[in-house]
Structure 1
Amino acid sequence: MGRGSGVSRYLANPRRRPTQAAGDDGANLRFHRSLPGYSASPLVDLGEAAARAAGVGRLLVKDERERFGLPAFKMLGASWAVHRAVLDRLERTGGADVDLDGEPFDVLRRALQPLRPMGLTAATDGNHGRAVARMAAILDLPCHIYVPAGTVDARISAIEGEGATVTVVDGTYDDAIRVSAGCGDEWLVISDTSWPGYTDIPRWVGDGYATILHELHEQLDSVPDAVVVPLGVGAFGAAVAAGLPADVGEPPFILGVEPDDAACVQAAVAAGRVVEVPGPHRSIMAGLNCGLASQTALPAIMDRFDGFTTVSDEACATALRTLADLGFDCGECGAATLAGLTSVVGHVPELGQDATVVLLCTEGVTDPVSFRAIVGREPHEAALAGS
């Protein structure tokens, strides 16, 4: 438990501009609703005692522990990005005679036919690669996923269980990205982070996450005072920035949370540009172990987020146990938002004892061995959906 044991660091966003980011037309939500197994994720009230213990008035959790049978929200971004990338490649290869009318998922299946035997590839340190592998399995496409050294066996086995080939790269998550980016034209790279010359697909990944915000609008009876967001490379953060209202009287305070030794978004915001946070990144918050922020996601985050905090492994483990005691078993990335909230309550005026706060919990239990070591018991069955 000694990894990532530094003191939390808070940064009030010095570059925030009170503007409303451009929203979307809801096409992503319509696409997701056309996929087999779609249902909106719950919004859970943790109760008065939990809110009081956290130092706020009301504590809600957008529960992304299960999406399409997988234990995380990543399928929303991966599926939408695959849909958009396939249509884009079809257009560029001259497949204009494909019928593009009808339900979005049916359109995707038809659009793939002239592109076969193309495969899907991605790098991952958490759940994104498994979501890409699941889309490949649904669409009967080959899939090759690259993971960094140190990825736990449970996560590798879960990806292989989707039918994908997994290669462990001797290096960090960013090294795995570089390897996947070098795959040939017979592979469609579905990455959630960007680099020069590769920006469309990461933007589409982030756009897919906006379905969470569409659902949240329908579930809330009023605008919350604050929303707490886990940040990896920033794709999800950009979706939140675009999807939360900024043009209301009191827009919600948006707090980003990262591991204290992989705070690439906080570093980028402070510098005003993408900068590398050197590894090794060994936090228990595996899906947040990123050394480079996405250059396509960063502008929206700089414009709209209010603050950023880092959390240690110890703080995350404490939050994981707190949620487990409430009967809400989740993974480390899912607990990071409670750890982040706890680290700044009492220091940020917007997060006071009367505030309504929404935590975005992005994963269920993806590493049962780690959960058992931290909590001292087996996870509840509901938290293991798809594991």
Structure 2
Amino acid sequence: MTTSKTPVPLNRTARAWRAEPLANSPVDFHRSLPGYAPTPLISLPEEAARLGVKSVLVKDESQRLGLPAFKILGASYAIACALSERFGAGEVLRLEALAKRLDAEAGLSLVAATDGNHGRAVAHVANLLGLTSTIYVPPGVSEAAKDAIVAEGAELVELNLTYDQVVAEAAKQSGPGRLLIQDTSWKGYEDIPQWIVDGYTTLVEEVDEQLADIGVDRLDAVFVPAGVGSLAQAVVHHYRSSKHTPALFAVEPDTAMSVTAALCAGRVVPVDTGDTIMTGLNCGTVSEIAWPTLRDGIDAPITVTDSQALAAVADLTDLGVDSGPCGAANLAALRVLIADDELFTFSGLGPGSVVVLLSTEGKAANPQGNGNTEGTANREGIQR
């Protein structure tokens, strides 16, 4: 066993904090999309036994509505909400209804900044609606990821800037005929990021239904990749407004610890980021709308190294789960927690615990981060 070398901010009141449920669930909208089906919730009994808990369950987002990541849930819902509002509709219109109305509005385009999956999702929905799109990317995005964005019909613009700077540039390039669909927020730009967050709720609503289907009535911990914090915001809001009150852990690379820094400082503070194979999590600033929810509802952040994430990718592959580094980082974080005395005691996990890991992408979503590694390197000596 080990003790944390870097202090981890622990919120001992997180599980008691409560949020108001969403007024409108996005599930019905997502069910109307072509090809919709709940993604699998996969049990890993070997890993549960190894780690000394009852169940480890992986929500596998490697195939979501034809794309290799969960981002399409937020992008599709936010685009539908934004366009429905633009047309003065009193409800969120389905894509086929929006496409008909868009026939009369020539020249509208969608704009986004991305390090891969969000931009591809925006481009995919734009293509479904018959719209053009422009996607801005920083250095480090793989050629395969860029090719996938272009294959969706988007114009791709590469900028030699950090991710946060690319977001700012995309915002500058947007306007009345160029609608910005971004998953981070700032003062004056909150509605679309919030709709993206709301769209992600479908993922955890599916988890609840799948747990009930297999007769599981308790949930002890959920691990979620952080990035700018949008998915983490959705997960925290959901579980702090539902019957389940699990411990919630935000997972991020040790080279991009924006959530950890914010929780330590008590406010959003930009951090310098370094290279990481977890490209979707390489974000230096927490979304402003996510911050209050993360501050009050996250039990703790957990950082992982590239080697730990790669080991988890390899082990999940051996167990039949398609997970890229951002998704596999959750398994790496669970291993870090189990191996750390303070975190393990704080978590309350034990032999009867049920743990859900939100694997947000398949390997196809992040081709440069899936190299070979010693998959069993972090397995020994962590069972309690």
Q: Same fold (TM over 0.5)?
A: yes
Alignment match, 2:354: 356
Q: Secondary structure at the match of 2:87?
A: helix
Q: Secondary structure at the match of 1:193?
A: coil
Alignment match, 2:128: 138
Q: How does 1:83-232 map to 2 (within 5 A)?
A: 83-91=80-88, 104-183=94-173, 184-220=175-211, 221-232=216-227
Q: How does 1:47-66 map to 2 (within 5 A)?
A: 47=45, 49-66=46-63
Say whether residues 1:286 and 2:286 are aligned partners: no
CA apart distance, 1:11? 2.6
- Contact 2:84-2:92 within 8 A present in 1 as well: no
- Contact 2:15-2:247 within 8 A present in 1 as well: no
Unaligned stretches of 5+ in structure 2?
A: 376-384
Alignment match, 2:301: 308
Q: What code does the residue aligned with 1:180 have?
A: A
CA apart distance, 1:52? 1.6
Q: How far apart in 1 are the matches of 2:83 and 2:115? A: 24
CA apart distance, 1:42? 1.0
Q: How does 1:262-341 map to 2 (within 5 A)?
A: 262-279=256-273, 281-341=274-334
Q: Secondary structure at the match of 2:16?
A: coil
Q: What code does the residue aligned with 1:109 have?
A: A
- Post-superposition Cα deviations, 1:320-345, rounded to whole Å, max 9, x if no partner, equal 11111112131111101001111111
Alignment match, 1:237: 232
Q: Secondary structure at the match of 1:228?
A: strand
Q: What code does the residue aligned with 2:335 have?
A: T
- Contact 2:278-2:369 within 8 A present in 1 as well: no
Alignment match, 1:367: 366
Q: How does 1:62-73 map to 2 (within 5 A)?
A: 62-73=59-70
Q: Percent identity?
A: 43
Q: How far apart in 1 are the matches of 2:176 and 2:100? A: 20
Q: How far apart in 1 are the matches of 2:261 and 2:293? A: 15
Classify 1:307/1:46 alpha carbon distance in 2 versus 1 (closer, same or farther; 3 Å).
same
- Post-superposition Cα deviations, 1:78-125, rounded to whole Å, max 9, x if no partner, equal 00010111122233xxxx7xxx68963333224434443210010001
CA RMSD of aligned residues (A): 2.2
Deviates most, 265-274 or 139-148: 265-274
CA apart distance, 1:273? 1.6
Q: Secondary structure at the match of 1:204?
A: helix
- Post-superposition Cα deviations, 1:230-279, rounded to whole Å, max 9, x if no partner, equal 1010000111011115565x721111100011111121122222110113
Say whether residues 1:345 and 2:312 are aligned partners: no
Q: What code does the residue aligned with 2:250 have?
A: G
Q: How far apart in 2 are the matches of 1:173 and 1:374? A: 27
Q: What code does the residue aligned with 1:222 have?
A: D
Classify 1:233/1:88 alpha carbon distance in 2 versus 1 (closer, same or farther; 3 Å).
same
Classify 1:273/1:14 alpha carbon distance in 2 versus 1 (closer, same or farther; 3 Å).
farther
Classify 1:59/1:101 alpha carbon distance in 2 versus 1 (closer, same or farther; 3 Å).
closer
Deviates most, 332-341 or 177-186: 177-186
Q: Secondary structure at the match of 1:243?
A: helix
Q: What code does the residue aligned with 1:205 have?
A: I
CA apart distance, 1:9? 6.2
Unaligned stretches of 5+ in structure 1?
A: 1-5, 377-387
- Contact 1:120-1:189 within 8 A present in 2 as well: yes
Classify 1:352/1:246 alpha carbon distance in 2 versus 1 (closer, same or farther; 3 Å).
farther
- Post-superposition Cα deviations, 1:25-44, rounded to whole Å, max 9, x if no partner, equal 45411111111111111111
Classify 1:225/1:24 alpha carbon distance in 2 versus 1 (closer, same or farther; 3 Å).
same
- Contact 1:136-1:142 within 8 A present in 2 as well: yes
- Contact 1:68-1:75 within 8 A present in 2 as well: yes
CA apart distance, 1:369? 4.8
- Contact 1:333-1:361 within 8 A present in 2 as well: yes
Return the TM-score normalized by structure 2.
0.88
Return the TM-score normalized by structure 1.
0.88
Alignment match, 1:82: 79
CA apart distance, 1:18? 2.0
- Post-superposition Cα deviations, 1:44-69, rounded to whole Å, max 9, x if no partner, equal 1112x211223322100111111111
Report the count of equivalent residues.
Answer: 361
Q: Secondary structure at the match of 2:156?
A: strand
Q: How far apart in 2 are the matches of 1:136 and 1:317? A: 33
Q: Secondary structure at the match of 2:209?
A: helix
Q: Secondary structure at the match of 1:240?
A: helix
Q: What code does the residue aligned with 2:327 have?
A: G
- Contact 1:8-1:312 within 8 A present in 2 as well: no
CA apart distance, 1:8? 7.2
Q: How far apart in 1 are the matches of 2:156 and 2:95? A: 27
Q: How far apart in 2 are the matches of 1:310 and 1:259? A: 5
Classify 1:145/1:9 alpha carbon distance in 2 versus 1 (closer, same or farther; 3 Å).
farther
Q: How far apart in 2 are the matches of 1:317 and 1:205? A: 28
Alignment match, 1:380: none
